C-alpha cells in the first residue's frame, strides 16, 4: 500500500492523473516519486508535493492524507484497486473510471465519477457540481457503477446518465438527472428545480421536497420503489412520466408525504 501525505497546503490547482493503483503497480518508491504532475503552470514531480511511504501489504492500494481540495484527476481511468482519501479531494476524481473503488472521507469536487463505466465511489462528505456528469458539451454520461454521497451534491448531477446508480443522502441542486436515458438516482432529502429535464429513461427517486416540470405527466401512486438490487425505498410515491418534450419514458418518484402540493395531480389519475 502506498500512502501519500500532502507536504503543505495547496492553493493552486494540481493535476495528478498519475495517481491510480495500476500506475503504481510494479514501480519502486523512487519511481513513484518522479511521476510528473503540474501545479498551476509548473511541471513538478509527485515527490515535490507529497511525502510518499510504502507499507508492504501486497496491494497497490493508495491512501491520500491531507486537504487535497485542489488536487484534480485522482484515480482517472482506474480499473482495479482502491484509493482512500482522508480529507477533501478536488475535481474530476475517478473520471472515466472502469473498476475498483474510491473512498473519500471528506468532500469531493466537481465532475467526480464523470464518464464512469464501472466501479464504486463512496463520498462521506459533500460532492460538487456535475458529479457523475460528462464535461460541458458532451453527452457521454455515466455508463455504469455506483456513486454514494453522504452529504449534499451541487447542480447538474447525473446528467446524461446511461446506466449508473447514484445515491445521495442529502440534498441535490438544480437539473438533477438532466437528459438521463437510463440508470437510477436516489436523493433522500430535497431537490432543487428542473429535476429530470429532457430525460428519456431511467428513474429519479426523491425522498424530500421537489418541483415537477410541466412537461411531466402523472402516471400512478406506488407504495415503494426499488432503486437497485440493494435499496428499496418505502413511500408512498407519486410517479411522473417524462420528459414529454423529448417523448421520454423516464420516471420521477416524488415522496407523497413530503410533497403535499402534488395532491393537485391526483384528479388526473
Q: Of 61, 51, 74, nearest to 5 (Cα)?
A: 51
Q: List residues binding other proteins (CB under 8 A).
A: 41, 134-139
Minimum CB–partner distance for residue 113 and other proteins (Å) = 16
Minimum CB–partner distance for residue 135 and other proteins (Å) = 5
| Distance in angstroms (rounded) separating the CA atoms of residues 109 and 13 | 12
Helix (H/G/I), strand (E/B), else coil: 231? coil
- The upper half-sphere exposure of residue 253, i.e. CA atoms within 13 Å in the direction of its Cβ, equals 25
CA distances from 103 to 19, 81, 204, 227, 234 (A): 14, 11, 24, 21, 28
Only one residue has cell 503497480, namely 25
Minimum CB–partner distance for residue 66 and other proteins (Å) = 27
Minimum CB–partner distance for residue 226 and other proteins (Å) = 30
Helix (H/G/I), strand (E/B), else coil: 48? helix
Q: Which is nearer to other proteins, 135 or 257 (CB)?
A: 135
Q: Which is nearer to other proteins, 10 or 160 (CB)?
A: 160
Q: Which is nearer to other proteins, 81 or 248 (CB)?
A: 248
Asked if residue 74 lies in contact with residue 68, where contact means CB atoms within 8 angstroms, the answer is yes
Q: Which is nearer to other proteins, 3 or 200 (CB)?
A: 200
| Distance in angstroms (rounded) separating the CA atoms of residues 243 and 63 | 42
Q: Which is nearer to other proteins, 33 or 96 (CB)?
A: 96
Helix (H/G/I), strand (E/B), else coil: 29? helix
Minimum CB–partner distance for residue 160 and other proteins (Å) = 9
Amino acid at each position: 500500500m502506498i500512502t501519500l501525505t500532502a507536504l503543505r497546503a495547496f492553493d493552486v490547482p494540481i493535476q495528478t492523473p498519475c495517481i491510480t493503483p495500476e500506475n503504481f503497480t510494479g514501480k519502486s518508491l523512487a519511481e513513484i516519486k518522479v511521476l510528473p504532475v503540474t501545479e498551476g503552470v509548473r511541471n513538478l514531480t509527485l515527490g515535490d508535493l507529497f511525502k510518499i511511504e510504502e507499507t508492504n501489504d501486497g496491494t497497490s492500494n493508495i491512501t491520500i492524507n491531507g486537504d487535497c481540495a485542489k488536487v484534480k484527476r485522482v484515480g482517472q481511468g482506474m480499473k482495479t484497486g482502491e484509493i482512500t482519501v482522508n480529507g477533501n479531494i478536488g475535481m474530476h476524481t475517478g473520471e472515466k473510471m472502469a473498476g475498483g473503488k474510491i473512498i473519500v472521507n471528506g468532500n469531493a469536487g466537481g465532475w467526480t465519477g464523470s464518464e464512469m463505466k464501472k466501479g464504486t465511489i463512496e463520498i462521506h462528505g459533500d460532492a460538487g457540481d456535475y458529479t457523475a456528469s460528462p464535461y460541458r458539451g458532451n453527452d457521454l454520461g455515466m455508463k455504469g457503477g455506483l456513486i454514494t454521497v453522504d452529504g449534499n451534491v451541487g447542480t447538474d448531477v447525473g446528467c446524461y446518465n446511461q446506466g449508473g446508480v447514484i445515491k445521495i443522502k442529502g440534498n441535490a441542486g438544480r437539473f438533477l438527472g438532466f437528459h438521463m436515458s437510463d440508470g437510477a438516482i436516489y436523493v433522500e432529502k430535497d431537490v432543487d428545480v428542473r429535476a429530470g429535464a429532457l430525460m428519456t429513461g431511467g428513474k429519479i427517486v426523491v425522498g424530500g421536497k421537489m418541483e415537477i416540470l410541466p412537461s411531466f405527466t402523472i402516471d400512478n401512486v406506488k407504495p415503494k420503489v426499488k432503486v437497485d438490487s440493494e435499496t428499496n425505498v418505502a413511500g408512498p410515491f407519486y410517479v411522473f412520466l417524462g420528459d414529454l418534450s423529448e417523448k421520454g419514458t423516464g420516471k420521477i418518484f416524488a415522496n407523497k408525504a413530503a410533497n403535499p402540493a402534488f395532491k393537485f395531480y391526483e384528479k388526473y389519475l
